[in-house]
Amino acid sequence: MKKITGVMVYYYFICKRKLWYFSNDVSMEHNSELVGIGRLIDENSYKREKKSILVDEMINIDFLKDWKVIHEVKKSRKLDEAGKWQLKYYIWVLRNKGVEIEKGILDYPVLRKREEIFLTASEEKELMNVLKQIKDIIERELPSGVINKPFCKKCAYYELCYI
Ligand code: SF4
C-alpha cells in the first residue's frame, strides 16, 4: 500500500487523473515551467524562517513554527481549495503523531497574503473520506478521464492527456 503524501491530497482536489499519473510514477514534472517557478519562490521566500521538514516521507512541510503552526507556501490562490486540504492533511498527520498543531497558515509570498487554516471535527471526517477515495483512485488500473480545464495547458501531463 502506497503512503498518501501531501501532494496526492493536493492533486486529488485538482485532477484525479493527475493524481493517478503522479501516484503511479508517471513523472513529467521536470518539464513544467510552473514547477520551476514554484521552486524559485520556495528558494527566495522566508529565507530566515524557512525549514523544510519531511515527515515519514509523506508530508513535506515548508516550515513549522514553535511546533504549533504549519506554514505552506503557494504561488497563487487559483487552486486554493486544494492547498487548504493539503494543509488540513498535514495538521491531521502531525496531530496523529502527538504534535499539538493549532493551525496552518497558507502563505502567498507573491501576493503578500496569508490565510489561517483549521481542521474541525467534521472536516476530519471529510478528510478520512478523501483519503479513502485517494486509495481507491491510485489503485485503479487506468486513470480517470481528462477534465478539460483551462489550467490543463499549464499541467506537466498536458501532452499525455491531449496530444
Ligand atoms: S492535463 Fe488536465 S486532465 Fe490531464 S492530468 Fe493535467 S489537469 Fe488532469
pLDDT number for residue 155: 93
pLDDT number for residue 51: 63
73 lines ligand 1 (CB under 6 A): no
Cα(138)–Cα(140) distance, integer angstroms: 6
pLDDT number for residue 99: 87
Q: What is the DSSP letter of 146?
A: P
pLDDT number for residue 111: 86
Tell me the backbone φ, ψ of residue 119, rounded to 5 degrees.
-120, 105
Q: 13-45 b/e with 16+ CB inside 10 Å = b?
A: bbbbbbbbbbbeeeeebeeeeeeeebeebeeeb
**Mean pLDDT per 10-residue interval, the chain, length 163 residues:** 88 96 79 46 46 72 78 81 93 90 90 92 97 96 95 92 90
From atom 3 of ligand 1, which residue's Cα is the shortest distance away?
Answer: 146
Residue 65: all three cell numbers together:
513554527
Q: Could you give the C-alpha distances from 51 to 27, 28, 64, 72, 89, in angstroms and in order?
A: 26, 26, 7, 11, 19
Please choose, from the candidates 103, 107, 98, the residue with its C-alpha nearest in 3D space to the C-alpha of residue 70: 103
Q: Could you give the C-alpha distances from 45 to 14, 40, 84, 113, in angstroms and in order?
A: 25, 8, 20, 13
Q: Which atom of ligand 1 is nearest to the CA of 16?
A: 8
Claim: this prediction has a pTM higher than 0.85: no
pLDDT number for residue 37: 42
Residue the block writes with cell 483512485: 137
pLDDT number for residue 78: 76
pLDDT number for residue 68: 84
Q: Are 73 and 83 in contact (CB under 8 A)?
A: no
Q: Which atom of ligand 1 is nearest to the CA of 149?
A: 2
Please choose, from the candidates 18, 32, 24, 7, the residue with its C-alpha nearest in 3D space to the C-alpha of residue 90: 7
59 lines ligand 1 (CB under 6 A): no
